[in-house]
Amino acid sequence: MLPVLQIGPVALYTPGLIMVLGGWFMIQAVGRAAYGHGLDGNRLEQIMLISLLAGVVGARLGYAAGSWTIYLADPWAFLSRDLQAFSLPTGVVTALVVGGWLLWRQHWPFWSTLDALAPSLAIAMFTYALAQWASGDGYGLPTTLPWAINLWGEYRHPTQLYAAITSLGALIIWRLHYHRRQPSGTRFLTVSAALAAGTLIGEGFAATGWLLPGNVRLSQVVSLTILVIITYIWQHIFRYQRHQ
């Protein structure tokens, strides 16, 4: 784990640095992908940037709303770099709402727009996995497997690396299919399905996250639901294409 990167007299908060770099790669990726789908790449980059910034603000406000007494006592804590002081669900919802509204105003083709956004999903998951790896969060269950990592006093599943490998695999799949002629929406659904399948499996080895009755994590239920929805949508897309 590397929570702080020391470069001479400068100490950089590694998870935060990873998140910033990941956001930059997301913006670059969607901008380039947009041109391949006949969209305005510059405009999509702007929308991605605004959405990411809104997500950061929303995540901090979401956490502050649940811990408002702390921020009343110390308002400067609102500027804390601690990733634990962010509400990820609130941030994601905020980014999706802001980004969705901005995209809706462009009147771009629905599935082509999602295809252009597909690489950003994989990059976002990869970035989050590396940030957790650097901070030591999102750790796995104890194990004796040879690739276990020593974390918090025990050898554990490197679930952060499982997530990173999943996202890299999804990104490779997207890249391999980038120049192929496919029905609109196929790239987005393929990347989403790969990420959901990897999460469904990988979260089975996680020691953190919301645990539901039956020793199943909420993230696994969400992933399975996404896979079912994708399968349903996918069948209808191809059926429509075949009848054209």
DSSP string, 177-201: TTTS---TTHHHHHHHHHHHHHHHH
Q: For residue 72, what pLDDT is reported?
A: 75
Q: Percent of the chain scored above 70 by pLDDT?
A: 90
d(CA 69, CA 23): 31
Q: What is the 3-state secondary structure (H, E, C) of 25-59?
A: HHHHHHHHHHHHCCCCHHHHHHHHHHHHHHHHHHH
Q: What is the pLDDT of residue 2?
A: 64
pLDDT attached to residue 22: 96
Q: In whole angstroms, what is the distance from residue 77 CA to residue 46 CA?
A: 29
CA 125 → CA 81, 167, 213, distances in Å? Answer: 20, 6, 26
- Which parts of the chain sit beneath pLDDT 70? 1-12, 77, 81-83, 237-244
Element housing 242 (H / E): helix 218-242
Q: Write the DSSP string, 97-147.
A: HHHHHHHHHHT--HHHHHHHHHHHHHHHHHHHHHHHHHHT-S-B-B---TT
Write down the pLDDT at residue 34: 95
Give residue 235's pLDDT.
Answer: 81
pLDDT digits (tens, 9 = 90+) for 202-228: 999 999 888 898 889 999 999 999 999
Would you state the pLDDT for residue 6?
66
- What is the structure's pLDDT at 231? 92
Look up residue 56 and give its two tokens. Answer: 């950061």
